[in-house]
Amino acid sequence: AQSVTQLGSHVSVSEGALVLLRCNYSSSVPPYLFWYVQYPNQGLQLLLKYTSAATLVKGINGFEAEFKKSETSFHLTKPSAHMSDAAEYFCAVSPFGNEKLTFGTGTRLTIIP
């Protein structure tokens, strides 16, 4: 069985500050891990994914995530927040990469001007 925990349903950061969204997973097999973003009135868009290659994964819009097996974590970061980053972010896990995704509860990111 797989599960995902996202700590913090709401996160607020100042424009230009570091963004850190936390994700911990549980998986009985080496997982594929994903971060999706949902902007207002849009569908889910893939930010980045971990597929057992490099542990530091770079995604779109300046985001990156680091896979830490010892901590079962896949936290999402961005060095400097921009107003356009305001959205809801979802961490997800899949056992084989092209199977059903198990999502976390999501984190709504607010950027303070």
Partner 1 sequence: EAGVTQFPSHSVIEKGQTVTLRCDPISGHDNLYWYRRVMGKEIKFLLHFVKESKQDESGMPNNRFLAERTGGTYSTLKVQPAELEDSGVYFCASSQRSEAFFGQGTRLTVV
The footprint of partner 1 (CB under 8 A) covers 4, 9, 32, 36, 41-46, 49, 51, 90, 92, 97-106
Between 5 and 17, name the residue whose CB sits nearer to partner 1. Answer: 5
Asked whether 12 and 23 are in contact (CB, 8 A), the reply is: no
DSSP letter string, 60-107 = GGG-EEEEETTTTEEEEEESS--GGG-EEEEEEEESSSSS--EE---E
Between 17 and 95, name the residue whose CB sits nearer to partner 1. Answer: 95
Between 32 and 74, name the residue whose CB sits nearer to partner 1. Answer: 32
Residue 82 C-beta: closest distance to partner 1, Å: 23
